[in-house]
């Protein structure tokens, strides 16, 4: 089959619904062979069903494309290993990993429950790290065997990870952690022929429909649906293609028809007097530095 990703083997996690489903369908439409990973859990991570992944696979196959369903828990270290092994066993190799799976348990910081905090960090952050680890091991082994590797990782952060979001302390923390993981992995895996980038999408999903109901309301029939998850997938597919081999360690905000390169933490104004400061001296120094610095973007919901 022809297409931008013809013949490439792609894992998309959390691909049973929302953004993940849109990514899986878009990759398949561009000729990729897709492993549709989803545990079929509720929004808070509870329960599970093989149905959502199977439905996406059926849709892909009905279009004449190749896909298999996978129900592994990406935040289980051994489960993530089995997921990568499933892709390799089914299609012979892995070329692209799209980390998308996540859950939502919103709380104000003062109301955080330890179990809910752990669950959100586990699925989002550990779920990215575990799959990335095992995919990287696969690509390193291929490289050491003398096989050319031209692989891609696309991680999923959020505006909440870039700027923070009121009522989403655990989610924002996990999504910010994913950005750090992306930067490190991009630097470490370049030697193996692997690029690692992240997106911070805005789209209508089970998560955002609850957290931002007004903003996610579908438009009247015939109008451009800026919050449709399908708007995000073209960038993800391009980042998964061989065309993107020069792009790594970058973060893109994407929604509707808009793509923004996120310009993250950078060193701003500074002063160095060549000796240790005393606390009393800093009352004049810090305000001057802040006056010279660019004001931070506001936290969502503030």
Catalytic residue among 175, 233, 241, 244: 175
DSSP-assigned letter for residue 3: S
Catalytic residue among 170, 171, 241, 300: 171
Q: Taking the CA of residue 294 as centre, how many other CA atoms within 13 Å lie in the half-sphere pointing to its CB?
A: 9
Catalytic residue among 126, 157, 158, 300: 158
Are 260 and 252 in contact by the 8 Å Cβ rule? The answer is yes
Active site residue 175: yes
Active site residue 288: no
Q: How far apart are CA 245 and CA 243, in angstroms?
A: 6
Write the DSSP string, 33-61. EEEEE-----TTS----SHHHHHHHHHHH
Q: Which two tokens stand for residue 148?
A: 């050319």
Number of H helices and number of E strands within the chain?
10, 8
Using CA atoms, how far residue 233 sits from 240, 242, 252, in Å, is 10, 16, 12
Q: How far apart are CA 199 and CA 206, in angstroms?
A: 18
Q: Which two tokens stand for residue 191?
A: 């030697």
At 237, is the secondary structure helix, strand, or coil? helix
Q: Which two tokens stand for residue 254?
A: 């994407």
Active site residue 158: yes
Catalytic residue annotation: 158, 171, 175
């Amino acid at each position: 089959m022809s297409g931008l990703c013809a013949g490439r083997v792609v894992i998309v996690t959390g691909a049973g619904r929302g953004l993940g489903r849109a990514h899986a369908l878009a990759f398949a439409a561009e000729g990729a062979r897709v492993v549709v990973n989803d545990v079929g859990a509720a929004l808070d991570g509870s329960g599970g069903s093989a149905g959502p992944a199977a439905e996406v696979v059926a849709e892909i196959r009905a279009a004449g494309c190749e896909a298999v369903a996978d129900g592994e828990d990406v935040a289980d270290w051994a489960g993530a290993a089995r997921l990568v092994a499933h892709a390799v066993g089914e299609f012979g190799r892995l070329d692209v990993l799209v980390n998308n799976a996540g859950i939502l348990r919103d709380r104000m910081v003062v109301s955080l429950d330890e179990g809910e905090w752990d669950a959100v960090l586990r699925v989002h952050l550990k779920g990215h790290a575990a799959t990335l680890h095992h995919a990287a091991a696969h690509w390193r082994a291929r490289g050491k065997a003398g096989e050319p590797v031209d692989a891609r990782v696309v991680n999923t952060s959020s505006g909440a990870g870039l700027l923070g979001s009121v009522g989403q302390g655990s989610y924002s923390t996990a999504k910010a952690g994913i950005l750090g993981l992306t930067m490190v992995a991009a630097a470490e895996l370049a030697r193996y022929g692997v690029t690692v980038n992240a997106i911070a999408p805005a789209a209508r999903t089970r998560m955002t429909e609850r957290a931002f109901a007004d903003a996610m309301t579908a438009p009247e029939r015939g109008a451009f649906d800026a919050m449709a998850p399908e708007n995000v997938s073209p960038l993800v597919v391009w980042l998964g293609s061989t065309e993107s081999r020069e792009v790594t360690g970058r973060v893109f905000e994407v929604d509707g028809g808009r793509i923004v390169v996120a310009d993250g933490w950078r060193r701003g104004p500074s002063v160095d007097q060549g000796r240790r400061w005393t606390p009393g001296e800093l009352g004049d120094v810090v305000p001057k530095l802040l006056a010279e610095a660019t004001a931070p973007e506001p936290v969502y919901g503030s």
